[in-house]
A and B are shown apart, each in its own frame.
Chain A
Amino acid sequence: MAMQLLLNLILAFVWMLLHDDGSASRFIAGYVLGAAILFALRRFWPGGFYLTKLWAVVKLLALFARELVASSFAVVRAVLSPKLDIRPGIFAYKTELSSDWEVTVLSCLICLTPGTLTLDVSPDGQTLYIHAMDIQDADELSRQIRGTFEKAIMEVTRP
């Protein structure tokens, strides 16, 4: 991915040099053209075209923002409700993500989701212990995490 980005920048600079014009608009035109060339040559790259991956990153950031808003409202509702009828607890969640980076992003995401907080990660990095504000059904919660967050992270990191 970094390689493709570098190549795209180089193509943009070459476009600028070909026109003998160092303005920003020329650079942007060259960048778009370079992206089109890279897209046409996408089968030569092992990871595919890099802008699709960038789009996955943008989607992950949007997911972060949405979850932050949703979880804040959940917390405020729990705080303001007249009776404290929440049932907190800690449940273990087995993740399929392997590398340190992926597990870090996942635990940050979990910290920002409605009513969950990562307490600990097991030494092998495969199990996360999550404190949930309202454990109605731990399986339901972990299925939700697996369905949305893990999928979004895998879209970014896996080809």
Chain B
Amino acid sequence: MSKLGELSIALLILIGALFCALSAFGLIRLPDVYLRSHAATKSATLGVLCVLAGVFLYFMFFLDQVSVKLLLGIAFVFVTSPIAGHLNGRAAYRQGVPLWDKSVRDDLQSALTEETQTGTQTLRPPPNEPESK
């Protein structure tokens, strides 16, 4: 039983490390910022989460110590990493980083040019009434 548990935890951590390595490989292989951002947000997040979950399980079952910090770490990584990916992509697009030349479609380009022509604010105007809860 204990042997099996140890093995499955080791497997979990190994899978996490593998996902991290593959996402690092994706950073090298994929052609443009946006595709790299796909690799960096998704696989790396899952990899880190797997490693943290494995450590948490190991501490819980083998060292008899429930580490709430690890759970918090899982929650924070889970919440923040998609937002980091989104902000990287958005900043890159607004700086004019080109898409890969095999990209097929770009709806944002026309929207952005329209925005600058009509002079609409890029920032969202403050809401007039407080939002209902």
Q: Which residue of B lies closest to A81 (CB)?
A: B29
Please give, as numbers and ranges, the residues of chain B lying within 8 Å of A71 by CB-CB distance.
42
A117 & B86 in contact (Cβ 8 Å cutoff): yes
Within 8 A of B (CB), among A87-119: 87-92, 99-100, 107-108, 111-112, 115, 117-119
- How many chain A residues touch B (CB < 8 A): the figure is 40
Query: Would you list 19 pairs from A and B whose C-beta atoms are within 8 A, ordered by A residue?
Result: A69-B46, A71-B42, A75-B38, A76-B23, A78-B30, A80-B25, A84-B29, A84-B31, A87-B102, A88-B32, A88-B103, A89-B99, A90-B99, A92-B108, A107-B86, A112-B42, A117-B86, A119-B34, A119-B89
List residues of chain B with CB within 8 A of the CB of A118: 86, 89
What sequence of 0s and 1s flags, for each residue 92-133 of chain B, a beta carbon within 8 Å of any chain A beta carbon?
Answer: 011000011011111111010001000011111100000100
**CB within 8 A of A87: which of B104, B123, B124?**
B104
Most chain B CB within a 10 A radius of its CB, from A64, A74, A78, A117: A117
The reply to whether the CB of A123 lies closer than 8 angstroms to some CB of chain B is yes
**When the two chains form their complex, are residues B105 and A138 in contact, meaning their CB atoms are under 8 A apart?**
yes
Contact indicator B34/A88 (Cβ below 8 Å): yes
Are A72 and B46 interface neighbours, CB within 8 A? Answer: yes
* Interface residues of B, count at CB 8 A: 50
Q: Are B38 and A133 in contact (CB under 8 A)?
A: yes
Chain B proximity of A71: nearest CB distance (Å): 5
Q: How far is the CA of A64 from the CA of B42 in the complex (A)?
A: 12
In the complex, the answer to whether B106 meets A89 with C-beta atoms within 8 Å is yes
Q: How far is the CB of B91 from chain A (nearest CB, A)?
A: 10
Assembled-state Cα–Cα distance A89/B124 (Å): 25
Chain B residues closer than 8 Å to A123, beta-carbon distance? 115, 120-125
A69 to B78, CA, bound (A): 12
